[in-house]
Amino acid sequence: MPHTSSDTPPSALTPLARHPVIALGVLLAGALLGALLGLTAAPVYRAEARLSVGPASNSAYVISGYPLAVRDLAANYSRWVRNSSAVQPGWGVEGVSAVSASPIPDSGVIRIEAESRDPARAVAGAQAVATTLATLVGTEQDKNDPKLVYAEYEKLAPQVAAAQARVENAKTDAARRQARVQLAMVQLQRDAFGERYRRLFSDPQVVSRLQLIQPAVAVGDSRKAALARWLLVGVGAGAAAALVVTTLLDRRRRRRGAPDVPGAADVPCAADGPDGPDGPVADTTSRAPVPMRSDASASAGR
């Protein structure tokens, strides 16, 4: 009866151990194919521009906590660029595939990055985004310029003086009450502009503007990252292909009747004959026993 030398089932990686040369060759072929794909893949170029949150006037430096406030502004502007990029990835710039922004730690500097298949378009995209962001911030700040608010405050001063004169020169009580109502309304408007002026003057977001401190320049591409990524994919695909090829070879070997492990099965030798190494074996079960005759029976017969 045939038997194996071990009752342990073979591992799924056993075919790799039986055909190491073939497995290594397939693995190297996969790695080379992955490296070739990584080298021939079109790279993505990246460009960078930098903006700084700077004071719009020297009075900004007297605001308490201004250095910390500009860091928060840089983080807020960067977050706004990222949110806008999620809606419109290229910011409408032709050829730009992605735009991102991030604040440089412990500073008020914003890093603007743009990606494109064309290095010139990447540089143009980063420059366009930086310029657009600085323009938008400047436009919003111009609407709340403290100087304009103070001018409105000064315009109301003559109206307040005229209302006070009408109160003092009123002839009747009814005219005096009406003049006082008008005076209260004008004073309320002037006080509102005054409060708004004080708030805007002390707000770092209003007294700060974005300044371009580094025009857009190309800073790199994705060649190395693509090569590493495709090489890893090639190694993985080569390992899987090596396992499949060696498994198929192992099954083909089994179908041809070769043992899994040399010497593991008791296979009869061809020189021993069909009945074993010692020749035919007597079959004692298929023949009837022959009775033995005694000496008396033999004499009577003679």
- Residues 6 or more apart whose Cβ sits within 8 Å of residue 208: 53, 54, 55, 56, 60, 69, 70, 73, 141
Q: What are phi and psi of 52, to 5 degrees?
A: -120, 135
- For 121, residues 6+ apart whose C-beta sits below 8 A from its C-beta are 93, 94, 95, 96
pLDDT on residue 231: 85
Q: What is the pLDDT of residue 47?
A: 93
Report the C-alpha gap between 85 and 70 in whole angstroms: 22
Beta strands 45-55 and 109-116, pairing class: antiparallel
Question: What confidence score (pLDDT) does residue 163 get?
Answer: 86
Residue 54's DSSP bridge partners are 209
Q: Cα–Cα distances in Å, from 154 out to 45, 97, 146?
A: 54, 50, 12
Long-range CB contacts (< 8 A, 24+ apart) of 190-193? 190/153, 190/156, 190/157, 190/159, 190/160, 193/149, 193/150, 193/152, 193/153, 193/156
Q: Comparing C-alpha atoms, which of 115, 134, 123 is closest to residue 213?
A: 134
* Whole-number pLDDT of residue 64: 54
pLDDT for 18 equals 78
The conformation of residue 274, written as its DSSP 8-state character, comes to: T
pLDDT of residue 175: 84
Q: Which residue in 231, 232, 251, 243 sits closest to 22, CA to CA?
A: 243
Per-residue model confidence (pLDDT) at position 282: 47
Mean pLDDT by 10 residues, the chain (302 residues): 52 77 86 84 88 65 64 88 77 83 89 91 91 85 72 85 86 86 88 80 64 89 81 87 85 70 44 47 48 46 44
Alpha-carbon span 155 to 215, nearest angstrom: 42
| Residue of 104, 96, 101 whose CA lies nearest to 123 | 96
Q: What is the pLDDT of residue 111?
A: 94
CA distance 170 to 183: 13
Q: Which pLDDT belongs to residue 139?
A: 78
- Alpha-carbon distance 110 to 104, whole Å? 6
